[in-house]
Structure 1
Amino acid sequence: MGERCKNRRMFQIPLISLLMIAILTGCNKTQTDHVEKKEEEKMLVGFSMATLKEDRWLRDRDIFIAKAKQEGIDVIVKNANNDSNIQLEQVKEMVRKGIDILVIVPNDSEEVKECIEVAKSEEIPVISYDRLARNSDVDVYISFDNVKVGELQGRYLAEHVPEGGYIILNGAKDDFNSEMFHEGYMNVLQKLADEDKIQILEETWVDNWTRETAYDFVIKGVNTHGNKVRAILAANDSLALGAIDALSVSQMTNDVVVVGHDADLIACQRIVKGTQALTIYKPITKLIDKTVEVCKQLLVDARIDSGETINDGTYDVPYIKIDVVPVTKDNIDDTIIKDGFHLKEEVYNIND
């Protein structure tokens, strides 16, 4: 009997060992399956947009979705309709849905801070896209050279209207880009104004970049100053359209040089028609390619070495800057149309 017990105890040892191996193998298999499953999961990016009112932002949305899909990235897009409260609620919703990265176009450069805090509380990296979020310490700001945009507008007017009265339509005051555009064109125009070669007859900041507000402001300016108005600098093409409509009503379309920026299709049509002199082409595809690249990088490395920073009011944040191109009737075929940004048939309004 004692011998049998002894033999049974000896036999139990390999049985226990085999059982432990089986359990450990099962655990390892489960862990491996979990890792493989995790690797197969797609990155989910939340793209919070301030507005889709302008043609330019519709283009950003569509190209971003297409590029992300090409890279195997899923995207949730939300449009705040120029409302900061809506943008905040939409960001909260995207965070609840488990986004890995937040790409945000701030509706208000100051109020957006709360949106960014929501993302950061869940350790979600934030990219400030084309509009700088102020005092928020985002992971990176990716945009165009916005000061250069203004400088190119200012240079064109300084060369083509070196004397006479100007009306300036700045963008929304709560959009920090507006300040950078303003800085750019005043880098050029202030000297002419100080020398009294040009006179800034009227200037305003247009809430929400509203075309109708620009129209009303130019109507009043023209009624006040008449043919003293020789140039209108509009901070984007939508404001330029409002200005041109006002000039048309006042029968001054051919007497005033108007510049804008964004290369909206309707602006390009105005350029070949001759009612708008200049727009600034911002290669959105390059902006989006870089943004998607940075999204992937942020999941691997929290630090972005952009080589340049911009102060958001409190923090120096990495700034990735995309170059811009001035477009007139002389080079529109070799820039916007050549790049496929707009079709020649659309720009020249060619009917089949």
Structure 2
Amino acid sequence: MRRGILSTAAAGVLLAGGLTACSSDTGTDSGDTPTPKIGVILPDSASSDRWETADRRFLQEAFDAAGVQATIQNAQGDKAQFQTLADQMITDGATVLMIVNLDSGTGKAVLDKAKQQGVATIDYDRLTLGGSAEYYVSFDNEAVGQLQGEGLVKCLTDAGVEEPTIATLNGSETDNNATLFKNGYDGVLDPLYESGEYVKGPDRWVPDWDGAQAATLFEQMLTQTGGEIDGVLAANDTLGNAAISVLKRNQLNGQVPVTGQDATPQGLQNILAGDQCMTVYKAIKAEAQAAADLAVALANGERKEVAQTVTDPETNREVPSVLLTPQAIYKENVADVVNDGYVTAEELCTDEFAELCAEAGIS
């Protein structure tokens, strides 16, 4: 994969600068040009809170600001519903379709059908392998995994743990992002396993990023190792919280570093409480704005140049891409996520977390 890394600010400047010709008035005086319509399909609301609490909100705000019609629907993990939503959006006159695929097979079928009907397409957050989207907008997902691997090493080193046994809860095997995350953290951890500094423990993929299945798998891991797990590489906050719930039942929470991703309120609360060592924050507002800018341009018949490409490993097609930069979050910089407007102090600092927030400089 050929990847350049854009800062959040740089991506915003690149796209904003390229789209200044777009008007918030989507019609014309003659009425000859139809109003652009954009359809967005989100994957679910179970794998992470972000899809409903962040992506939907920021995408809608961006479309409203641009003055375009947009329909944002959630497939709720149902592949048949995903295809039905796409068909309905195209039937209703969508000129651009933006998707977060549930898997590449379903995503490819939707993208190909849209292309056949002259509808422009964007892969949002997840690349559809073998797909035909005009653009891909996401984060540098191998860098996300690298931050997770480095974060786990930092937390174990800070705790003075020697020769730790690591359990790994990967995301869904059908999600290309989960593969990229794993590439990133395996790149950090594999050399430590090979040198004997770390011990590689159970390593499992979690179907559909499902927290309940993750808890069951982690319970099995703990039994399999006789409770000898010293660190957990969890691919997102949902999986991390599943592991923490099992650790709590075994009175091990706070003693075993756990990673995460998405900087969800629950993940951040777990960090403040000392049960999770870190998460990875991805500035979803910037990602949504970048994708919305491209969608609005396509809806207005414009094609914008972007600075990066990602190689589709199935077709070797170079997909024009915007990849933003993720940030590692530890207890000492949880406030960064609040200050960026991703979560509010009110939703984070509830009840027993109020004092912890104050200690972390969040008010």
- TM-score tier, shorter chain, comes to 0.7 to 0.9
Q: Which runs of 5+ in 2 are unaligned?
A: 1-26, 158-162, 355-362
- Give the equivalent residue in structure 2 for 1:111: 106
What is the letter of the counterpart of residue 50 of structure 1? P
- Give the equivalent residue in structure 2 for 1:153: 148
| Alpha carbons 2:41, 2:73 under 8 Å: kept | yes
Query: How far does residue 187 in structure 1 lie from its aligned partner after superposition?
Result: 1.1
| Partner SS state of residue 226, structure 1 | coil
- Give the equivalent residue in structure 2 for 1:73: 68
- Give the equivalent residue in structure 1 for 2:44: 51
What is the letter of the counterpart of residue 290 of structure 1? A
Query: How far does residue 295 in structure 1 lie from its aligned partner after superposition?
Result: 1.1
Query: How far does residue 100 in structure 1 lie from its aligned partner after superposition?
Result: 1.1
TM-score normalised by the chain length of structure 2 = 0.84
Query: How far does residue 254 in structure 1 lie from its aligned partner after superposition?
Result: 2.2
What is the letter of the counterpart of residue 80 of structure 1? A
Inter-partner Cα distance in structure 2 for 1:232 and 1:38 = 58
Q: Which runs of 5+ in 1 are unaligned?
A: 1-32
What is the letter of the counterpart of residue 221 of structure 1? M
Q: 1:98 aligned to 70, 75, 93, which one?
A: 93
Inter-partner Cα distance in structure 2 for 1:263 and 1:143 = 16
Query: How far does residue 78 in structure 1 lie from its aligned partner after superposition?
Result: 2.1
Inter-partner Cα distance in structure 1 for 2:154 and 2:280 = 16
Inter-partner Cα distance in structure 1 for 2:293 and 2:28 = 26
What is the letter of the counterpart of residue 42 of structure 1? T
Inter-partner Cα distance in structure 1 for 2:286 and 2:71 = 21
Deviation string, structure 1 residues 56-83 (Cα, Å, up to 9, x no partner): 1002112211221121111112221212
Pairs within 5 Å for 1:226-305? 226-300=226-300, 303-305=303-305
- Give the equivalent residue in structure 1 for 2:14: none
What is the letter of the counterpart of residue 76 of structure 2? N
| Alpha carbons 2:231, 2:256 under 8 Å: kept | yes
Q: Could you say which structure has the higher helix fraction?
A: 1
- Give the equivalent residue in structure 2 for 1:23: none
- Give the equivalent residue in structure 2 for 1:165: 165
- Give the equivalent residue in structure 2 for 1:18: none
Inter-partner Cα distance in structure 1 for 2:70 and 2:31 = 20
Query: How far does residue 138 in structure 1 lie from its aligned partner after superposition?
Result: 1.0
1:330 maps onto 2:332 in alignment: yes
- Give the equivalent residue in structure 1 for 2:346: 345
| Alpha carbons 1:141, 1:320 under 8 Å: kept | yes
- Give the equivalent residue in structure 2 for 1:309: 309
Structure-2 change in CA distance of 1:75 and 1:300 (3 Å): closer
1:38 maps onto 2:40 in alignment: no
Inter-partner Cα distance in structure 2 for 1:198 and 1:48 = 41
Deviation string, structure 1 residues 139-163 (Cα, Å, up to 9, x no partner): 0100011111000010111233253
Inter-partner Cα distance in structure 1 for 2:302 and 2:347 = 43
Inter-partner Cα distance in structure 2 for 1:243 and 1:34 = 55
| Partner SS state of residue 321, structure 1 | strand
Tell me the matched-pair count. Answer: 318
TM-score normalised by the chain length of structure 1 = 0.86
What is the letter of the counterpart of residue 168 of structure 1? T
* Cα RMSD, aligned residues only: 1.8
Query: How far does residue 114 in structure 1 lie from its aligned partner after superposition?
Result: 0.7
Deviation string, structure 1 residues 261-318 (Cα, Å, up to 9, x no partner): 0011111111111111101111010011111111122245564422221122212211
| Partner SS state of residue 230, structure 2 | strand
Query: How far does residue 35 in structure 1 lie from its aligned partner after superposition?
Result: 6.0
- Give the equivalent residue in structure 2 for 1:132: 127
| Alpha carbons 2:138, 2:323 under 8 Å: kept | yes
Inter-partner Cα distance in structure 1 for 2:109 and 2:191 = 40
Structure-2 change in CA distance of 1:101 and 1:221 (3 Å): same
Inter-partner Cα distance in structure 1 for 2:259 and 2:94 = 39
- Compare 262-271 and 293-302 and name the one that shifted more: 293-302
| Alpha carbons 1:304, 1:318 under 8 Å: kept | no
Over the matched positions of the two proteins, sequence identity in percent amounts to: 28
